[in-house]
Amino acid sequence: MRAFTLIELLISMFIMVVIIAGIYIALSAAQVTWDSGSGMLDLQQSLRPAIEGMTRELRRSSPSLVTVSGLDAEIIEFSVPGSSNSISYYILDSQLIREHPSDTTRVLANDVNNLSFCCVGGSDCFDCANASIVQVEAGVAKSVKGRSLRQFDLINEVSLRNE
């Protein structure tokens, strides 16, 4: 009867360790990719409904009822027909805030790092009286499981009602 030699056992163990290490590296890479994709999905799912709700409300307003303010046009205030209170959207501490009525706030999204509005058709982004479209740009950013920062930007153009 012939048995395995020590060299044959060591070689087979080395090959097994290399195979297991390769599998581990592949699974680790897959986990990083999964976490990254999951983080991007979370960012998208937090921002989209907030912006969709904002654009739905803004669509009901007319150009004369819209005001864009702030240093970088990051605050919008508007009224909708049939309502005496204005609606405001702005960023506070990386949160997208909806204020309606005055001093009643609601957080719509977290990790927001960019929000800007531009009245297209006016003399500049702040001139909404002559604009028929308001461009809304928002961005969210987040580190996923301590890894690289993920960024998601969303740009919507909203057609305002005729007066």
Confidence (pLDDT) at 163: 58
Residue 162 has a pLDDT of 63
Alpha-carbon torsion angle 130, 83, 116, 114, nearest 10: -170
Global pTM reads 0.75
Three-state secondary structure along the chain? CCCCCHHHHHHHHHHHHHHHHHHHHHHHHHHHHHHHHHHHHHHHHHHHHHHHHHHHHHHCCCHHHEEEECCCCCEEEECCCCCCCCEEEEEECCEEEEECCCCCEEEEEECEEEEEEEEECCCCCCCCCCCCEEEEEEEEEEECCCCCEEEEEEEEEEECCCC
Mean pLDDT is lowest, of 23-32, 50-59, 80-89, for 80-89
Residues 6 or more apart whose CB falls under 8 angstroms from that of 118 comprise 68, 73, 125, 134, 135, 137
Predicted pLDDT at 18: 97
Residue 36 φ then ψ, to 5°: -65, -45
Which pLDDT score, from 0 to 100, does residue 51 have? 92
pLDDT, one tens digit per residue, over 127-157 is 888 888 899 999 988 877 667 777 888 899 9
pLDDT tens for 73-113 read: 889 998 888 777 889 999 999 899 999 888 889 999 988 99
pLDDT at residue 10 is higher than 90: yes
Whether 15 has a pLDDT exceeding 90, the answer reads: yes
Domain spans of the chain, in order of start: 6-159
102: left (phi over 0), alpha (psi -120 to 50) or beta: beta
Structure tokens at 32: 């990083």
